Amino acid sequence: MLTIWGRRTSSNVQALMWCVGELGLAHVRHDAGHRYGGTDTPDFRAMNPNGTVPVLRDGEADPLWETGAILRYLATRYGAPPFWPQDPTERAQCDKWAEWAKINITLGFTAPIFWRVVRTAPSQQDPAAIEAALAKLDPFLDIAEAQLEARPFLAGPAFTLADIQFGHVLFRYFDIAIRRQRRPALRRYYDGLTQRPAFREHVMLPYDELRVTD
């Protein structure tokens, strides 16, 4: 049984829960972080000295933190090809795109754009900073567009862990009020993700509790 600590509105927790849902793993999740607190307690810091979510414990094993490491652990232990290839060369190709998505898409969108649009009071928002962040993100989305023009999923012909790392931020990207360039392949890809039950259950969630108003 997996035990997970982290609130549903955390994008990192959403990536983890989407993976858990795709793999059909039994689990229990405890709200932690943001309005729920609990990450500064001695017990939590004993599991994760960083005080961040998500944290995962698989049975009696030592806790795991850092979303990418958790996802690779779950994929290795419970996944199967093509979601997580066994061949080292094929796996590296999948992992390459997963890392690319985490570093360039997730980090380029969540704090620089989503936080500035949703988690900042309207009177304190900086449209120029948001536009600059979008301009920085756009070339990476263009890379994704070119990749998806040639294949149905980010790393190839089948859904893989790379799609978890890339796709979990797309609900918010397409939902918030920002400028978006026309990218038909990306839109087709996102529309396909919205048909996946685990994506709908764990990613397509309201984020009103994060919104800051004047």
Domains along the chain? 2-78 (3.40.30.10), 88-201 (1.20.1050.10)
Q: What is the mean pLDDT of the chain?
A: 98
Please give the pLDDT value at position 128: 98
Distance separating the N- and C-terminal Cα atoms of the chain: 43
Per residue in 105-124, pLDDT (tens digit) is 999 999 999 999 999 999 99
Please give the pLDDT value at position 121: 97
The residues facing 156 across adjacent strands are 153
Per residue in 183-209, pLDDT (tens digit) is 999 999 999 999 999 999 999 999 999
Q: Regarding beta strands 55-58 and 27-30, do their DSSP bridges make them parallel or antiparallel, or are they unpaired? A: unpaired
CA distances from 131 to 19, 63, 127, 166 (A): 31, 39, 6, 21
**H or E element that contains 4:** strand 2-5
Higher pLDDT, 18 or 214: 18
Per residue in 72-104, pLDDT (tens digit) is 999 999 999 999 999 999 999 999 999 999 999
Q: What number is the average pLDDT over the span 138-147?
A: 98
Question: Residue 214: is its pLDDT beyond 90?
Answer: no
